[in-house]
Amino acid sequence: MDWLLNIFGTVLRFFNDLTHSYLFAIILFAICTKVLLFPFSIKQQKNSVRQAKLRPKEVAIRKKYKGTTDPNMQRRMQEEIQELYQKEGYNPMSGCLPLLLQLPLILIIYNVIRNPLRYICGASKEAIAALLKFARGFEVAGEKIYAKVTEIDLVSILNGEHSKEIIEGAEEALGKNIEYSNLPDFTIFGNFDLSEVPSFTTIYIIIPILTGIIAYVSTKLTQKLSYQGAIAAEDPSAKTSNIIMDLMMPLMSVWMSFMFPAMLGIYWMFQNILGVLQQLVLKKMYPYPKFTQEDYKRAEREMNGKKSSKNSSRAAPAPGVYRSLHHIDDDEVYTVPDKTKKSASKAPKLKDDAPDHGKNKK
């Protein structure tokens, strides 16, 4: 796992050396990760377009079972929808890969950001351990001022006024010189330190607030630009699901911003902004189809026609011909007599057909 973290750390170090600003390095790093995942996002968009093309037929299937609460009928509806997906070559799970890659990517970035001396500056584990040990025991006027220091805090300390004493003390304890590349500068706008963890009592509270607002706005915009927004406009259950996501994603972003250094919250903000821009590009490249009411009616006739032809394995009997109720599965039929026609045997005879009694009397 370290080799992958070292790769991401090298990229972040390159951006930091290029811009001489850790803030711009994070922005470029966010763009880099979006470009890296863009092929997967294209695949997800194509899959969504394929699903959108099936919308009229899916609506027709759901309309057939509308209002029913029978579990068997609900299961049959899902089976028909799955049959439609399989026939048209649509896989509902094929578009989940970009979402599945997001979590491990965030964990990798978190580790890189939390351990800048190791993955960005290239310091060894032994050197970092010596620096931490000496810094935590370092005293000024009999007080340990860095007692709870972490690796990310070391960057700010080594950029500060006591850096020389701490480095020399750690090298003496380690028995050799400590080597690392240029330290990143986490401060912006004077003394705003991106390595600080936000809290309710500091100015860094602005990071979780901005992260939550941007996450909410970006989620709403992304839904409007995606196929899920079109579904929510027609399906109340999908609309409810979207409302839950509208709340869950921003809340999760706010929680993460309070747990981790401010730089991770800034990275998350730029990821959300870039996500909206990416969705705009994808929608231009692969637009969703638009349907009229006639398209929905045509799909409904097609799906209902397929159902009737599938369920009837033999032709319907001719008018007046019925299958025997005793042999419902057989081909035995009988014809209902037409009562409007009188039988020839019961018809009255004409005079020409009557016996000639006069001839007999002769």
Note whether 207 and 64 are same-domain residues.
yes
Q: What is the reported pLDDT for 240?
A: 66
Q: Are residues 174 and 211 in the same domain?
A: no
Identify the domain boundary among 285, 306, 322.
Answer: 285
- Kindly state whether residues 117 and 148 are assigned to the same domain: no
In a domain, 314, yes or no: no
Q: Do residues 112 and 215 share a domain?
A: yes
Q: What is the pLDDT of residue 309?
A: 45
Q: Which of 285, 311, 346 is the last residue of a domain?
A: 285
- The answer on 200 and 163 residing in a single domain is no
In whole angstroms, what is the distance from residue 279 CA to residue 287 CA?
11
Same domain assignment for residues 106 and 205? yes
First to last CA, the chain: 131
Do 12 and 88 fall into the same domain?
A: yes
Residues 145 and 277 in one domain: no
Flag whether 291 is in a domain. Answer: no
Nearest-angstrom CA–CA distance, 2 and 8: 10
If asked whether residues 113 and 26 sit together in one domain, one would say yes
The DSSP string of 65-113 is TTT---HHHHHHHHHHHHHHHHHHT--TTTT-HHHHHHHHHHHHHHHHH
The radius of gyration computed from the CA coordinates of the chain, to the nearest angstrom, equals: 38
Domain boundaries, position 153 = 123-180
| pLDDT tens sequence for the chain (362 residues) | 788 888 889 999 999 999 988 889 989 998 998 898 898 889 888 888 888 898 899 888 888 888 888 888 889 988 988 898 888 878 777 767 666 777 787 788 888 888 889 998 989 999 999 999 999 998 888 888 888 888 888 888 888 888 999 999 999 988 889 888 888 888 888 788 888 889 999 999 999 999 999 999 998 888 888 876 666 555 666 666 667 777 888 898 899 899 888 988 998 899 899 999 999 999 999 998 888 889 888 988 888 875 544 444 444 455 554 444 444 444 444 444 555 555 444 545 444 444 555 444 44
Please tell me the total count of domains within the chain.
Answer: 2
- Looking at the structure, tell me whether residues 109 and 129 fall in a common domain: no
28 and 74, same structural domain?
yes
Domain identity same for 35 and 158: no
